[in-house]
Chain A
Amino acid sequence: MKRFAVPVIVFAGLLALLAVGLKLDPRRVPSPLIGKPAPAFEASSLHDPSRQLSLADLHGKVALVNVWASWCASCRQEHPYVRELARRGVPVYGIDYKDARADAVDWLNTLGNAYVATVFDPRGRIGLDWGVYGVPETFVLDANGVVRHKHIGAIDDRSLEDEILPLVRRLRAEATK
């Protein structure tokens, strides 16, 4: 008698799984870098080709690294939020991903440069090391240079107020301990 009930019980389990699945996003790829030191790089600055930049330039402070490109429409929509972050005292560094130097400089001049510094990554090699698969993407680094969070896609009101700023505050508090 009992074995006839097996199918319906198994099916109930399947339904539960699918119900949970409806809340998840299968396209989102989490970053394996979280909890690990940010990948090192040394590349030229966007504005000054002779100047080399590296993670040391973050000076041991909690910072954001924003990956963008001038050909990316969402980055354009996101930039006001980047500027807002800068205005609120959060240092944001930029990685200009697979772009042309002239286009990128123009873009920043038009929209207003909010980055402390921007590194030029024309072939996407730095992006590859950081696990970038689309722009824009934003990484939150703590005072020790460890990646603590990756935000995929453009930053908006909600992610600014509910996700990024609280995290920055927490990381800063951690650093002072």
Chain B
Amino acid sequence: MTPARTLRTALAALALAWAAAAMAAGTTYYRFDNARQQARYDRLTEELRCLVCQGESIADSHADLAKDLRDQVHEMVAAGKTDRQVIDFMVDRYGNFILYRPPVEPATWLLWGGPFLLLCLAAAVALARARRSRVEPVRALDEEERRRLGDALSRHHGRQGRS
């Protein structure tokens, strides 16, 4: 090969390498087989509470424990465990405190059902109140009332000195 061609080849190789480097892909931190698993992971980690900071989900927390729990969730989801199995795993070890969505059980019936019952109750009370204030349809005066009205008016006019 001539020196020129060598140089061109080298440059081309360099350019290619540079391009490849520029296109080097970052990856998602956790790898999943498909988007559905990724979505499940996202949802699960947002529903689990970080016990260290206690004000964040394990998805958002920077705490060490949160990272460990995220690793655990990732492992389980990637291994094909169901959402129920992941939740049960966490609850077995940390109790219901770790769930941001409280389980539906007798102790939480009031929590889950209360608002809707209250809504119905409030609507009923409002309706009752509205009904009580109904505008009465105006009906014509009957004989007796007309006579009384006539008497009252003539008395009033009499007092005023008018006919």
Question: A: which residues have CB within 8 A of B?
Answer: 27, 29-33, 39, 98, 123-124, 128-131, 133-134
For the A-B complex with A27-B54, A134-B52 known, give 20 more contacts whose Cβ atoms are closer than 8 Å.
A29-B94, A29-B97, A30-B95, A32-B92, A32-B93, A32-B94, A33-B93, A39-B93, A98-B64, A124-B64, A124-B68, A128-B69, A128-B72, A128-B93, A129-B93, A130-B93, A133-B51, A133-B65, A134-B51, A134-B65
- Count of A-B contacts with CB under 8 A? 36
Q: From DSSP, what is the main secondary structure of chain B's interface residues?
A: helix
Number of B interface residues at 8 Å Cβ cutoff, please give it: 14
Among A27, A98, A123, A133, contact of B94 (Cβ-Cβ < 8 Å)? A133
Q: Tell me if B91 counts as interface (CB < 8 A to partner A).
A: yes
Residues of chain B within 8 A of A32, CB atoms compared: 91-95
Considering the chains assembled together, what is the distance between the CA atoms of A134 and B54 in angstroms? 12
Considering the chains assembled together, what is the distance between the CA atoms of A131 and B72 in angstroms? 13
Contact A133 B52 (CB under 8 A): yes
Instruction: Using A128-B93, A129-B93, A131-B95 as known contacts, say yes or no to A29 and B68 having CB atoms under 8 A apart.
Output: no
| Minimum C-beta distance from B97 to chain A (A) | 5
Among B52, B68, B97, contact of A128 (Cβ-Cβ < 8 Å)? B68
Residues of chain B within 8 A of A123, CB atoms compared: 68
Least CB separation from A34: chain B residue? B95
Residues of chain B within 8 A of A29, CB atoms compared: 51, 94-95, 97
Residues of chain B within 8 A of A39, CB atoms compared: 93
Residues of chain A within 8 A of B64, CB atoms compared: 98, 124
A-B contact pairs, 26 of them (CB 8 A): A27-B54, A29-B51, A29-B95, A29-B97, A30-B95, A31-B95, A32-B91, A32-B92, A32-B94, A33-B93, A39-B93, A123-B68, A124-B64, A128-B68, A128-B69, A128-B72, A128-B93, A129-B93, A130-B93, A131-B93, A133-B51, A133-B52, A133-B65, A133-B94, A134-B52, A134-B65
B72, B91, B95 — which one has the most chain A CB atoms within 10 A of its CB?
A: B95
Residues of chain A within 8 A of B52, CB atoms compared: 133-134
Residues of chain A within 8 A of B93, CB atoms compared: 32-33, 39, 128-131
Considering the chains assembled together, what is the distance between the CA atoms of A27 and B68 in angstroms? 20
Residues of chain B within 8 A of A128, CB atoms compared: 68-69, 72, 93
Considering the chains assembled together, what is the distance between the CA atoms of A174 and B42 in angstroms? 47
Least CB separation from A33: chain B residue? B93
Chain B, 49-67, CB within 8 A of any chain A CB: 51-52, 54, 64-65
Chain B, 80-95, CB within 8 A of any chain A CB: 91-95
Residues of chain A within 8 A of B94, CB atoms compared: 29, 32, 131, 133
Considering the chains assembled together, what is the distance between the CA atoms of A39 and B97 in angstroms? 19
Considering the chains assembled together, what is the distance between the CA atoms of A32 and B97 in angstroms? 10
Residues of chain A within 8 A of B97, CB atoms compared: 29-30
| Minimum C-beta distance from A14 to chain B (A) | 14
User: Closest 8 CB pairs between A and B?
Assistant: A133-B51, A32-B95, A131-B93, A29-B97, A131-B94, A124-B68, A133-B65, A29-B51
